[in-house]
Structure 1
Amino acid sequence: MENPGLDHVVVGLGWDAIPSHGPAAELVPFAVMCDAGGQALSNDHLVFFNQLVSADAAVTFAGDADQEQIDVELGRVPEDVAKIVFFVYVDPDVRGRGSFASVRDSHIRVATAENRELVRFDIPATTLDSATAVIFGELYRHRGDWKFRALGQGYSTGLAGVAKDYGIAL
């Protein structure tokens, strides 16, 4: 993602699920603002359905042109934030236990504020059958600029596993 001077991006998270006769898994997007050690700065630095805007207003749920869109005003992100991690987890409280087994065509993309796509990563579905949370990708600081890294890393331990790795207090 080479775009000098870019200070506002939209991160789109999307997926399609195969219809089934039972209830589909409830997928929940989540963004975590992390320090240089990869840990959440605080619970005020999380963005999800119960907290739509980070404490500094740099990261905000913006819309659903993809499944979800998260606005990131890079110029407003505090200096102590080294990366912003974007993941989706299966919420067992809504429709019961589930996984990404029925999810196909999931992706993360980064676009300008005007929705001009800069980069897109399609996550291979074959590796996610037992996953209950997936880290789609991250924006990270590198020598004063922001870069994007696609990940597609699945967790079989759901939100609890991601929370443990990133120091999120549940």
Structure 2
Amino acid sequence: RPAARPGPPAADLGLPDGHNVLGMSWTGGVALDVCALVCRGNRVLGDDHFVFFNNPRSPDGSVRALPAAAPDKAAIGVAFDALPGDADRLVLVAAVDPEVNPDADLSGFTDAHIRLLDARLAELGRLDVSDGRPGETALVLGSFRRRAGGDWDFVLGGRGYPGGLAELVRDFGIEVE
């Protein structure tokens, strides 16, 4: 595979030094929200550590929602070294946007992957994620987990939720009205 060409630095996206970009792509025409949860185990550190359209950054700025740039449909900026010390997971999720597609599910969410980009937006790696299934409206794409030595690895997700983003985040300890 040819080497990726570096693009403009991540600073052009408003990201401070030390951030990587997680660019997400998939096939299918359903509008999706891609979100991140900063967790200890299976619990989000706090409601403000749920990064999504209404909360575009974690309190310390280590995780940020970004505008997507082709070929990606969604993007998250993350500074793994700046994540809170008690955080051992960064969970990435996708959910159908009920305001845009109220009757849709994830059956058309296929060929999904996450591109890991460096601060110059050069691709470092690509991670395949699970396809959606009929009846599900939210899906855990996977999680980055802090290893004992401080490095991070990626664990494929795949758990789907028929109750959408609200059901999914409740599983991680977020109160939803």
Query: Which bracket does the TM-score occupy, shorter chain normalised?
Result: 0.7 to 0.9
- 8 Å Cα contact 1:108/1:137 also seen in 2: no
1:155 and 1:119 map into 2 onto residues whose CA distance is 28
TM-score by length of structure 2 reads: 0.79
Counterpart for residue 78 of structure 2: 72
- Structure 2 CA distance for aligned equivalents of residues 48 and 8 of structure 1: 17
Q: What are structure 1's unaligned runs of at least 5 residues?
A: 1-6, 19-24
Q: Residues 47-86 of structure 1: matches in 2 within 5 Å?
A: 47-65=51-69, 66-86=72-92
Show the 5 A alignment for 1:4-153: 7-18=18-29, 25-35=30-40, 37-65=41-69, 66-125=72-131, 128-143=133-148, 144-153=150-159
**Aligned residues of 1:11 and 1:69 also touching (Cα < 8 A):** yes
* Equivalence for 1:154: 160
Q: CA deviation at 1:41?
A: 0.8
Distance 1:124 1:32 in 2: 18
Q: Which moved more, 1:62-71 or 1:151-160?
A: 151-160
Distance in 2 separating the partners of 1:151 and 1:115: 25
SS at match of 2:44: coil
Out of 150, 153, 174, the residue aligned to residue 168 of structure 1 is 174
* Contact 2:62–2:78, Cα closer than 8 Å, also in 1: yes
The structural deviation recorded for 1:128 is 1.7
Residue aligned with 2:157, SS: strand
Question: 1:91·1:97 contact (CA, 8 Å) conserved in 2?
Answer: no
TM-score (norm 1): 0.82
RMSD of aligned alpha carbons: 1.9
User: Structure 2, unaligned stretches of length 5 or more?
Assistant: 1-17
- Aligned length, in residue pairs: 156
Displacement after TM superposition at 1:142 (Å): 0.4
Post-superposition offset of 1:124:
4.8
d(CA) in 2 for partners of 1:150 and 1:9? 19
Q: Which structure's residues are more often strand, by fraction?
A: 1
